[in-house]
Amino acid sequence: MANAPGTRAAESESGKLTTMAKRPNLILFGIDSLRCDHMSCYGYHRLTTPHIDNFARDSVLFLNNLSPHIPTTPAYGSMLTGMDCFSTEIVALRHRGPLTDKVRTLAEILRDEGYASTCVGFTGNPSARGFDNYLNYAGWGSWDEGPSPKAMNLNAQALPELERLAAGDQPFFLFLRHMDPHAPYLPVPPFDKAFYAGDAADPNLPDTMGPVRDFKPFCDFHLSWMPPGIRDIDYVTAAYDGAVAYMDACIAQIFQRIDELGLRENTIVALNGDHGETLDEHDCYFDHHGLYEPTLTVPLIIRAPGQVPEGAVIPGMVLHQDLVPTLLELLDVDPGIDFDGQTLSDMWCGEKSANYSECYLTEATWMRKHGWRTTEWKLIRALEPDFHYKPPVELYNLHTDPLELHNVAESEPAVVDWLTARMEAHIARREAEKGITAPIYTNTSWHGVKEGPFESSDEAYHGMHIGSASQAKKLQAGEKK
C-alpha cells in the first residue's frame, strides 16, 4: 500500500514496517547579501556569527559554495529549483513575467508530498512560486527613520508561524528570506556600535568616502542611510558586520524555538545566501553587482541529525543548483526530476572532493556580463558597456591574486581564448539541450530604463539611479514583474 502524503513507513526493531512516521520538516534560511568571508564560522576575524557558528558545529559547512547567477531573482531561481539559468530562463533582477512552467520549485515538489509550506519575506518573486502561505515584514529603512529591526520584524512573523506549522499534522517547509545584511545597513543597538565606536563624521579623519559620494547612480541612496557628514568608509563595513551580528542574534531565537518545540531531531535546517556583497572593493560600493568573489561566494550550512557528519567542513566547489537535490535526498523524496544540480552527499561521504571544477557565471543587476570561473581563473566578459567604465574583458588569477586586483587579460591572451572557448561551448551545449537562446543574450532590457542595451558607459552611468531607500525598495519590488 502506498504511503499517505506527508508520511513514510517506519521500521520496528524487528525490521517490519509499522505505523506511518511523519516525514522530516524543512526550514531554509535564505539570507540576502551575506558574504561568507564576513562570518566568523568561515574564518572572519570579527565575531559576527556566534550562534550560526554553534549551529555549524552540528552541521556540514561548505567553504566554496558559489552563487553563479547574480543577483536575487536568478539566484533564488537556482536555489529553489535545482536548475541553472538555462532551465529557469532567469538571469535578471527585474525579470519580466513568471518563472517558466518548465521547472518545478521546491515548494511545489513538497506540496505534492503532503507538506504544508510558508514563505516569509519573498512574496511575489517569480522564484518563490508554490508556497501555501506568504507572510511579509518591513525590511528597509533610512538614517532619518533610525535603526531598522529587519530580523526582529521577520521573527515576529516567523516564530508564530513556526509554532502553527509544528502543531499541525503535516510535515512542513518554512522558508525565511532575511533582509539583513542587505543595504541599508542599520542594525539596532548595541550592534550598530559593536565594531565601530567612534565618530565616522569626525572632521579630523581622512575623507575616504569621496568615491562613494561621487558615484552619481548610487550616491543619493547610500547617503540616505549613512551618518550625515560621514568621512570614514570603514564605518560602513563595520555597520555591515553589525547587521550580520544582529541577524545572527535574531536567528538564535529561531534555533532556540526549534529545540523548545521538540523539532530538532526531525527537522532539516539549511542556511544559504542568495549572493554576497561588495563593500569597498571593485568600485561596486555596498551592493551586489559584479562577478567578483565577494558577490559569488556565499554560505551553505546544513543540519540533518543522523544524516550529515556534524562539524564537517567541505572545501570543494558547489553551486546553488545543488541545494534542492540535496534537501530532497535528505527528506527521502524522489520527484523524478533530472536536476541540473547534483546532490552534495557524495562530498560529505568522501566519495568525491567537489561537484564542479568550473562553472558559468551571469549577472544582470546594474551591469550585464557573463563569465567562466575555474578553481584558478576568473574570466568576465561584458555584453554591453557598464556604468563603472570597466574594460570589456577581465581576467584574474585567483591563486596569485585572490582579491582580483590585477586584470591580466592583455598579458594572458591565450588564457582568455581558452576560457572563452570553454564558456561558449558550454552555452552552445545548454542552448541545444534546452532549445532556447541563452537568457543572458535575450534579456536586453534587464535595466528597466529602455528597450535594448546601453550603447555606452556614459548612457549607463547617467541612465541608472537610486535616489533613496524607498526607491531602492521599489526597484527590489521590480523583481516581481
Measuring CA to CA, which residue among 4, 1, 79 is closest to residue 34? 79
Q: What percent of the chain has pLDDT over 90?
A: 90
Asked whether the predicted pLDDT for residue 1 surpasses 60, the reply is no
Measuring CA to CA, which residue among 141, 479, 454 is closest to residue 288? 479
Per-residue pLDDT at 109: 98
Measuring CA to CA, which residue among 154, 160, 217, 212 is closest to residue 182? 154
Cell of 316: 570543494
Residue-wise pLDDT tens digits, 357-384: 999 999 999 999 999 999 999 999 999 9
Residue-wise pLDDT tens digits, 106-136: 999 999 999 999 999 999 899 999 999 999 9
pLDDT band at 2 (very low <50, low <70, confident <90, very high): very low
Lowest average pLDDT, out of 92-96, 323-327, 337-341, goes to 92-96
Mean pLDDT of 333-337: 97
Strand partners, 361: 371
Mean pLDDT of 321-339: 98
What lies within 8 Å, CB to CB, of 187 at 6+ separation is 147, 148, 180, 194, 239, 242, 243, 245, 246
- Give the number of other CB atoms < 10 A from CB of residue 421: 11
User: How does strand 368-374 pair with strand 377-382?
Assistant: antiparallel
Asked whether the predicted pLDDT for residue 30 surpasses 80, the reply is yes
CA angle centred on 57, ends 174 and 304, rounded to 5°: 40
pTM for the model stands at: 0.93
pLDDT band at 5 (very low <50, low <70, confident <90, very high): low
Per-residue pLDDT at 9: 52
Mean pLDDT of 69-97: 96
Asked whether the predicted pLDDT for residue 16 surpasses 50, the reply is no
Asked whether the predicted pLDDT for residue 7 surpasses 80, the reply is no
Asked whether the predicted pLDDT for residue 251 surpasses 90, the reply is yes
Cell of 219: 550616491
Alpha carbon of residue 298 to chain centroid: 7
Distance CA 287, CA 328 (A): 32
Per-residue pLDDT at 471: 52
What lies within 8 Å, CB to CB, of 118 at 6+ separation is 131, 132, 133, 134, 135, 161, 165, 172, 173, 174, 175
Domains of the chain: 20-356 (3.40.720.10)
Cell of 303: 543540519
Asked whether the predicted pLDDT for residue 92 surpasses 60, the reply is yes
Measuring CA to CA, which residue among 150, 151, 286 is closest to residue 218? 286
Q: What is the 3-state secondary structure (H, E, C) of the chain?
A: CCCCCCEEEEECCCCCEEEEEECCEEEEEEECCCCHHHCHHHCCCCCCCHHHHHHHHCCEEEEEEECCEECHHHHHHHHCCCCCHHHHCCCCCCCCCCCCCCCCCHHHHHHHCCCEEEEECCCCCHHHCCCCEEECCCCCCCCCCCCCCHHHHHHHHHHHHHHHHHHCCCCEEEEEEECCCCCCCCCCCCHHHCCCCCCCCCCCCCCCCHHHHHCHHHHHHHHHCCCCCCCCCHHHHHHHHHHHHHHHHHHHHHHHHHHHCCCHHHEEEEEEECCCCECCCCCCCCECCCCCHHHHEEEEEEECCCCCCCCEEEEEEEEHHHHHHHHHHHHCCCCCCCCCCCCCHHHHCCCCCCCECEEEEEEECCCEEEEEEECCEEEEEECCCCCCCCCCEEEEECCCCCCCCCCCCCCCHHHHHHHHHHHHHHHHHHHHHHCCCCHHHHCCCCCCCCCCCCCCHHHHHHHCCCCCHHHHHHHHHHHHC
Distance CA 22, CA 258 (A): 17
pLDDT band at 139 (very low <50, low <70, confident <90, very high): confident
Mean pLDDT of 131-145: 93
Asked whether the predicted pLDDT for residue 481 surpasses 50, the reply is no
Q: Exposed, middle or buried: residue 160 (CB in 10 Å: 0-12, 13-18, 19+)? A: exposed
pLDDT band at 12 (very low <50, low <70, confident <90, very high): very low
Measuring CA to CA, which residue among 133, 178, 173, 132 is closest to residue 155? 178
Mean pLDDT of 82-96: 96
- In Å, what is the CA distance from 374 to each residue of 64, 361, 367, 377, 420? 12, 11, 22, 5, 12
Mean pLDDT of 284-312: 97
Asked whether the predicted pLDDT for residue 184 surpasses 50, the reply is yes
Per-residue pLDDT at 474: 53
Q: Exposed, middle or buried: residue 296 (CB in 10 Å: 0-12, 13-18, 19+)? A: buried
Per-residue pLDDT at 17: 38
Distance CA 458, CA 165 (A): 52
Measuring CA to CA, which residue among 278, 337, 365 is closest to residue 69? 365
Alpha carbon of residue 404 to chain centroid: 21
Mean pLDDT of 243-267: 98
Lowest average pLDDT, out of 153-157, 228-232, 396-400, 447-451, goes to 447-451
Average pLDDT of the chain is: 93
Measuring CA to CA, which residue among 258, 237, 142, 238 is closest to residue 196? 238
Asked whether the predicted pLDDT for residue 18 surpasses 70, the reply is no
Per-residue pLDDT at 475: 52
